[in-house]
Amino acid sequence: MARLKGWKIIHGGLGMGKVLTSLAFVAAMLALASSEASAMNFLCQAVGPRSVAYGRAFFAADAKWQALLRCERRSGICIISYCVPTY
């Protein structure tokens, strides 16, 4: 008799409703988190006398360093021409 009562609680409307609501909430949060993560990126361009280089990173400072280091390998002296958030 105890087994049947437990089965009713698990497969009843209230228990199943909570599970479905929780699953829907988790799915919505995962979808939101993945779109937010992809929106948080920076693209920077460094320009030198003989080269142009790009850097892409989560933080703007890291993207700038990447672009500058790649550009300076070929030109020696470079400056950041622009740095924009990407989506």
Q: Over 60: is that where the pLDDT of 41 sits?
A: yes
Q: What is the pLDDT of residues 56-80, one digit of tens each?
A: 999 999 999 999 999 999 888 999 9
Decide: 76 and 48 in contact? Cβ < 8 Å: yes
The amino acid occupying position 28 is A
The neighbour count for residue 73, using CB atoms within 10 Å, is: 12
User: For residues 85 and 36, which has the higher predicted lDDT (pLDDT)?
Assistant: 85
Chain centroid, CA 62 distance in Å = 16
* CA–CA gap between residue 72 and residue 66 (Å, rounded): 10
pTM assigned to the model: 0.55
Decide: 80 and 55 in contact? Cβ < 8 Å: no
